[in-house]
Every structure is written in structure tokens, then in C-alpha cells.
């Protein structure tokens, strides 16, 4: 079983489908092998993608984030070559602006101002201290009370003279520092203007890049970043991360992605640790995922069809019927509706459960089949892998189930409010530390097999995160057989689909 450690995912803007691409243990192992070959790490994201070609062979793509090209690595997005000259011109202007800012920040007036300011502060402080001492002596003489008017006037004249000396020193300070301050302020204002000019040039270049950069997806669409994101503000570097590069290149080469993994290599920082795996970044990558993954959809395998019914092998991860919200619109019924087929699901399978799903082509057929389900005339056989070894070989689980309306769709065993629920089970194999079982539900309650396994057998189904089963790449529950009377011919139909795990 391929363990999944993360899903790259996004909502298709046209269909509302939730599209996912896993990061698996195999992808991580290949990425770890790549780590050993990186000789001059600059501190950036690296990544690999496993893609299946037309011959069914697996190819490995590798990429690094940021600009630059290297033999054997996925190139930058298509479009940069169209504006290479303009980019070089703007980058040269930006370098000129940068150098002018550096020169303005290092003009000699800064040092002259600091030196003169410190020098005048020392003089003013020394003069103030000297005058303070003189004042104390004058105050002492005045307090003696034996000075005549002439002597008192002399002391007052000395006081006035010292005030003039302080004033003169401050005026001299102003005269020396004023031209220095003017030059410094002029330089600072020019720096502000240059930084604004630099921001404008960078923004213009980014807009030009986003108009030129083209992204491709698996539906055959190709859009520029500018058209893709519309009026949304794009962070610098959008489109230059590993995931967009890898998915775009795979789409261009006709490879069907199987798994992908990204990691940080180089000096660790506050946000990134060397050798650690990371998902799609929220600012630059995640907004593009819905478009990039478009075309990678879970296929609907029709296992039986006639003029009245359709039976499909529903893949795990797909809803039977759409929910109320945008992220729950990808469903079996909606997919058929987009094909012009208005079908009615006769029963439902949980999103994470795979297997046979029966749909009616008319209301009369639906009613006839629904009655068979209600009368318990339909035989349903599920196969599951439990996350531990079970000692009992077979038996019936009889536990009433109740769904709290405040915590849908979670079900619990409730002897007062629960509805009668019975499930037959039989062990059909043991694989390592796991048990493989067949379940035949006699009733059709929500999550019946999952809760009966956890509460009735004391062991959760492998991958059942809702009811505390051991984590895995999927819920290991599959509806493998459905037997019923055809509503038109009255013949018994036995539909069987192999278990995929």
C-alpha cells in the first residue's frame, strides 16, 4: 500500500471539483536520494514529480524554485524569453538605482554632521558648566549683602555676557550644521524618490512577467498568470516555485502526475529546515493549484449500463451527491449532469468508500429499486481491512446507531435514540498485522460498517480518520458486490467489482 503523507489540492474553477495529487512515501524516498546530489545549496525549495507517460512508464522530473536554468532540471515557465531584453533593461536600471542609493547613503555630510554635532555638544556642555559655576559664585556674593550698587551691576553684566556667549555658540552651531542638514535632507528625499521609482519599475516588470508567463494544465488550457489571477495582487516570485514548474512541465510533456514532493535544502531558517518536506505555499502556489491540477480527475468507470440503470465503480475521495458548499460540488451525480445525463442515485457510498454505486435513469426505476432497498431485498457485500488482527472469525454485530444533528455525519451507538442496525462479518484473510474482512450490512445506516467495526469489533477500519482507524492513504472499505432484481426484466443482477487494495 502506498502511504500518502500530504495532498496537493485545489478547486477547479470551471467544475467545482476538488482535485488532488498525493505526496507518497515513494516520492519522498526519491526526493531524499536527490538531496544527496545537491552540491551547492543556496537555501531554496527543490522538488520531484513522478509522471506516467503514454507508454505507461514512470518518468521523474526535478525542479528548484526561483529563476535560473540548469541541465536536467525543469525550466522556468514559458514566456520569460519573450521579454528577456526588457527584463535586462529594467534590471540594469534597478542596479543603477541601487548604486545611487548606496552613494547617497554614504555622502561625507553624514560623518561631518555627526562629528560637528558632537563637538558643539561638548563645547556647549563645558560652557554651561563654567557659567553654572560662575552663577553660584555670584549668588554667594549677593547673599552676603555687603555689595554696593556698582558691584551688583558688574555681576549682572557678567551674567548677561555669559548668556550672549551661549547664544553666540548656538548660532555658530546652527551656521555650521545647517548646510550639512540641507544636503542630508536632500539626499534622503532623493533616496525616497529612488525607492519609489524602484518599486514602480519592479511592479511593472512583475506585471510584464505575469502577462508573459504561461501556465498549462492537464485539460489542455494555457493561461498567463495575469489572466489566471485577474486583479488579485500577486506576490513576487509567483510561478517560480517548484510545484507550478513541475506541474506545468508535466502538462506540456503529456505526463500524467502520480505523486509529487517538495523539500527545503540549504541553510535552515525560522520557517524552513533542511531536508524537511513542505506542501504548497499559501501565497504563491496554493492559488494556482486548482488550475494546474485541472484535467486530473478521478475517472468514472461504468461497470453496467442499460436503458434503465447505470452502475459505476465509484473511486474513493468522490462524493455520491454534491453538498451545499463550493468544495463539495464534485460528485458522481454532478459529473453525469455535466454530460447531459440526469441520473438519480438509488443509494449512497461515503466519500472515502469505493465500489459499486447504482443510479436510475428515471423516477419510476428509482422508486422500484428504492423499494427493494427498503424491503432489504438487495444484497450488499463490502470488503475492508482492519487495522489490527481480529480473533473472531465471523458473527453479527447488532448495535443501534444515532446521528447527533449537531455533529453530522458522525454516528454513535445509542441504545435509547439509535435505530436498529445489523451487520454480518466474516474474516477472509490476515495480512501482517491487518485483518481482511467481508461485511454484509442488513440495514443501511450512515457509516454503519465503520461504526460497527470500531464499536462492535473494537478495531477500526484502516485509514478511517473519523472513527480512529490507523492512518493510511485511504479508507480501506470497498463495496465489491451488489445483487438485486432488475426493475424492468425482473432478472437478478449480480454486479461484482474487484477490491483495489
How far out from the chain centre does Cα 400 lie? 40
Task: Report the alpha-carbon distance of residue 307 to residue 30 in Å, rounded.
Answer: 49
Instruction: Pick the closest to residue 9 from 234, 354, 296 (CA basis).
Output: 296
Residues 307 and 286 in one domain: no
Task: Give CA torsion, residues 53, 301, 325, 230, to 10 deg.
Answer: 30
Classified as helix, coil or strand, 10 is strand
User: What amino acid positions are annotated as catalytic residues?
Assistant: 350
Residues 222 and 196 in one domain: no
Residues 47 and 97 in one domain: no
Question: Any alpha helices (H) in 327-421, and if so which ranges?
Answer: 332-338, 363-374
Classified as helix, coil or strand, 394 is strand
Q: What is the pLDDT of residue 20?
A: 86
Looking at the domain assignment, is residue 83 inside a domain?
Answer: no
For the chain, state the CA radius of gyration: 38
- The CATH number of whichever domain residue 347 belongs to comes to 3.30.2350.10
Residues 348 and 463 in one domain: yes
CA neighbours within 13 Å on the CB side: how many for 224? 15
216: cell is 498549462
Looking at the domain assignment, is residue 501 inside a domain?
Answer: no
Task: Report the alpha-carbon distance of residue 452 to residue 469 in Å, rounded.
Answer: 12
How far out from the chain centre does Cα 299 lie? 25
331 secondary structure, DSSP code: B
Residues 393 and 465 in one domain: yes
Looking at the domain assignment, is residue 426 inside a domain?
Answer: yes
Q: Do residues 262 and 277 lie in contact, with contact meaning Cβ atoms separated by under 8 Å?
A: yes
Q: What is the pLDDT of residue 132?
A: 92
Task: Report the alpha-carbon distance of residue 331 to residue 347 in Å, rounded.
Answer: 14
Q: Do residues 392 and 465 lie in contact, with contact meaning Cβ atoms separated by under 8 Å?
A: no
CA neighbours within 13 Å on the CB side: how many for 399? 22
Each residue's pLDDT tens digit, 89-110:
888 999 999 999 999 999 999 9
Looking at the domain assignment, is residue 265 inside a domain?
Answer: yes
The H helix count followed by the E strand count for the chain is: 10, 20
Question: What is the reported pTM?
Answer: 0.53
Q: What is the pLDDT of residue 310?
A: 96
Residues 192 and 239 in one domain: no
For residue 219, give its domain range: 4-78+213-293
Looking at the domain assignment, is residue 390 inside a domain?
Answer: yes
Looking at the domain assignment, is residue 84 inside a domain?
Answer: no
Residues 194 and 329 in one domain: no
* Domain end call among 273, 293, 313: 293
Each residue's pLDDT tens digit, 109-167:
999 999 999 999 999 999 999 999 999 988 888 888 788 888 888 888 999 999 999 99
Stretches in the chain below the pLDDT threshold 70: 1-2, 15, 78-83, 230-237, 297-299, 325-327, 469
Q: What is the pLDDT of residue 51?
A: 92
Task: Report the alpha-carbon distance of residue 390 to residue 381 in Å, rounded.
Answer: 19
Q: What is the pLDDT of residue 1?
A: 40
385: cell is 481491512
Q: How many domains does the chain have?
A: 3
Looking at the domain assignment, is residue 413 inside a domain?
Answer: yes
Residues 125 and 260 in one domain: no
Please report, for residues 162, 167, 177, the alpha-carbon distance to residue 172 in angstroms, rounded to integers and kept in the order given.
15, 9, 9
**489, containing H or E segment:** none
Residues 176 and 313 in one domain: no
Looking at the domain assignment, is residue 459 inside a domain?
Answer: yes
How far out from the chain centre does Cα 248 lie? 17
* Domain end call among 253, 269, 293: 293
Task: Report the alpha-carbon distance of residue 116 to residue 171 in Å, rounded.
Answer: 13
Residues 278 and 333 in one domain: no
Q: What is the pLDDT of residue 337?
A: 84
Residues 281 and 153 in one domain: no
Residues 345 and 384 in one domain: yes
Task: Give CA torsion, residues 39, 40, 42, 45, to 10 deg.
Answer: -20
* Domain end call among 186, 209, 232: 209
In this structure, what are the phi and psi dihedrals at residue 191, rounded to the nearest 5 degrees? -65, -40
Amino acid at each position: 500500500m502506498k502511504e500518502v503523507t500530504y495532498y496537493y489540492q485545489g478547486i477547479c474553477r470551471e467544475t467545482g471539483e476538488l482535485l488532488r495529487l498525493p505526496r507518497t512515501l515513494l516520492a519522498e524516498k526519491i526526493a531524499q536520494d536527490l538531496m544527496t546530489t545537491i552540491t551547492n545549496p543556496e537555501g531554496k525549495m527543490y522538488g520531484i514529480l513522478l509522471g506516467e507517460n503514454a507508454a505507461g512508464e514512470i518518468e521523474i522530473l526535478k525542479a528548484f524554485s526561483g529563476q535560473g536554468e540548469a541541465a536536467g532540471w525543469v525550466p522556468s515557465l514559458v514566456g520569460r524569453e519573450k521579454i528577456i531584453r526588457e527584463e535586462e533593461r529594467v534590471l540594469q536600471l534597478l542596479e543603477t538605482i541601487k548604486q545611487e542609493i548606496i552613494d547617497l547613503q554614504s555622502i561625507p555630510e553624514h560623518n561631518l554632521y555627526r562629528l560637528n554635532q558632537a563637538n558643539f555638544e561638548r563645547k556647549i556642555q563645558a560652557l554651561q558648566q563654567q557659567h553654572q559655576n560662575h552663577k553660584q559664585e555670584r549668588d554667594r556674593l549677593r547673599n552676603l549683602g555687603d555689595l554696593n550698587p556698582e558691584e551688583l551691576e558688574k555681576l549682572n553684566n557678567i551674567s548677561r555676557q555669559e548668556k550672549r556667549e551661549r547664544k553666540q555658540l548656538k548660532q555658530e552651531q546652527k551656521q555650521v550644521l545647517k548646510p550639512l542638514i540641507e544636503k542630508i535632507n536632500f539626499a534622503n528625499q532623493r533616496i525616497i524618490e529612488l525607492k519609489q521609482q524602484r518599486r514602480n519599475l519592479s511592479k511593472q516588470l512583475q506585471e510584464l512577467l505575469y502577462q508573459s508567463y504561461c501556465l498549462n494544465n492537464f485539460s489542455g488550457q494555457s493561461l498567463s498568470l495575469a489572466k489566471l489571477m485577474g486583479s488579485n495582487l500577486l506576490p513576487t516570485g509567483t510561478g517560480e516555485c517548484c510545484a507550478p514548474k513541475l506541474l506545468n512541465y508535466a502538462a506540456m510533456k503529456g505526463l500524467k502526475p502520480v505523486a509529487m514532493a517538495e523539500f527545503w535544502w540549504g541553510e535552515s531558517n525560522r520557517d524552513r529546515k533542511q531536508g524537511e518536506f513542505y506542501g504548497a505555499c499559501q501565497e504563491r502556489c496554493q492559488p494556482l493549484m486548482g488550475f494546474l491540477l485541472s484535467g486530473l480527475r478521478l475517472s468514472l468507470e461504468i461497470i453496467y449500463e442499460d436503458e434503465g440503470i447505470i452502475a459505476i465503480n465509484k473511486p474513493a475521495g468522490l462524493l455520491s451527491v454534491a453538498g451545499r458548499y463550493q468544495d463539495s460540488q464534485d460528485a458522481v451525480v454532478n459529473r453525469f449532469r455535466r454530460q447531459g445525463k440526469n441520473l438519480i442515485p438509488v443509494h449512497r457510498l461515503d466519500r472515502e468508500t469505493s465500489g459499486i454505486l447504482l443510479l436510475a435513469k428515471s423516477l419510476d426505476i428509482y422508486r422500484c429499486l428504492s423499494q427493494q432497498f427498503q424491503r432489504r431485498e438487495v444484497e450488499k457485500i463490502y470488503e475492508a481491512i482492519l487495522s489490527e488482527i481480529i480473533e473472531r472469525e465471523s458473527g453479527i454485530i447488532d448495535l443501534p446507531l444515532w446521528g447527533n444533528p449537531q455533529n453530522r455525519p458522525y454516528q454513535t451507538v445509542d441504545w435509547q435514540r439509535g435505530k436498529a442496525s445489523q451487520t454480518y462479518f466474516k474474516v477472509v484473510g490476515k495480512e501482517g498485522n491487518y485483518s481482511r474482512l467481508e461485511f454484509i450490512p442488513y440495514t443501511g445506516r450512515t457509516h454503519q460498517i465503520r461504526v460497527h467495526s470500531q464499536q462492535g469489533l473494537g478495531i477500526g477500519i484502516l485509514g478511517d480518520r473519523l472513527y480512529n482507524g490507523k492512518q493510511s492513504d485511504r479508507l480501506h472499505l470497498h463495496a465489491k458486490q451488489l445483487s438485486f432484481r432488475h426493475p424492468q426484466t425482473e432478472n437478478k443482477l449480480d454486479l461484482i467489482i474487484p477490491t483495489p487494495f
